[in-house]
Structures are given as C-alpha cells and as structure tokens.
Amino acid sequence: MKRSLIIFLISQFSFLISPAQNVREVFKSMPDSLAPYLTTNNRLDMIDFMDAKMKSVVTNLLEGETEMLALTDDSLSVQLNKSVLMDLWLEPVDTGRVVCMRKTYQVADRLQQVVDERFSLQWQPISKKTTVSTLLRRDEEIKKKPHF
C-alpha cells in the first residue's frame, strides 16, 4: 500500500515539474524578447483562434497584423509581419526535446535571410551560435532563357 502511494506521488510530482511537451505550451511561455511586439495575450489569442477554426490574426504592438498560419502539436508558423515569418518546432534529442526557431526575413524582392536558433523547453539558448543563411530566389525569366 505504501509502495503504491509513493509511486503515485512521484508520478504526480514528476508530471508537475516536467517541462511543456507540445508547441502550444512552448509558444505560450516564449519570452517577449524573441518577438518584442507580440504580447503574451496576442500569442494566447492566436492559439484560441486556431482551436476555434477561425482566422488567427491579432493586432501587434506596432499596430500591424500578425497571423498564425499553422499549428500542430509539434510545430507552428506565424507571419509576424509582411517581412518576417517565424517557424517553431520541437525536435527530439537524446535528452528529450529542443525548440527550434527559424525566422525568415524577406530582405529584398528576391533575397531572403534565414536565422535558425535552438532553445531548451525553458527557452535557454542551447548554443550561442545561430545559423544565418541568405537565400536568393531564382528569377523565372532567368530559368526560361536558353543556356549558351
């Protein structure tokens, strides 16, 4: 009897201290510094709108529109503004899961800059090194030209 009670209490306690295991909880707990003009209430509203199968658009602190485009248990995509798309997903690792964040900046008409970062579930940076890459979108006219 005592043994089963102890096992029950340990399992309940471990549930309380275990970190969030889905992207909804991770997004809710995201520090404001990672998207400064998106408040906690904005994030909660977007999740609620997606759950209600409504268009998930909120007015951010810059008086612009931010829209959640997709939401699953493991990933989400948010158009922060016309120029920035943020993707979050949970990736399994040996020690559990990590949060991967990709921000895609539309720098120019045919130029994008992508910044990848990784965090623990408590939003602690895993490494100080972030991956930054620049992508050029191919021009359709160049594709159609004959090659010499």
Residue 99 CB partners (closer than 8 Å, separation 6+): 26, 88, 89, 90, 91, 118, 119, 120, 121, 123
pLDDT of 83 reads 92
pLDDT of 148 reads 46
pLDDT of 62 reads 92
pLDDT of 107 reads 83
Whether the CB-CB separation of 91 and 74 falls below 8 Å is answered with no
- Count of alpha carbons within 13 angstroms of residue 97, beta-carbon side: 17
pLDDT of 52 reads 95
d(CA 78, CA 76): 7
Per-residue model confidence as pLDDT tens for the chain (148 residues): 666 555 554 544 443 444 457 999 999 999 999 999 999 999 999 999 999 999 999 999 999 999 999 999 999 999 999 999 999 999 998 888 999 999 999 888 778 888 999 999 999 998 766 677 776 655 555 556 665 4
pLDDT of 6 reads 56
d(CA 112, CA 117): 17
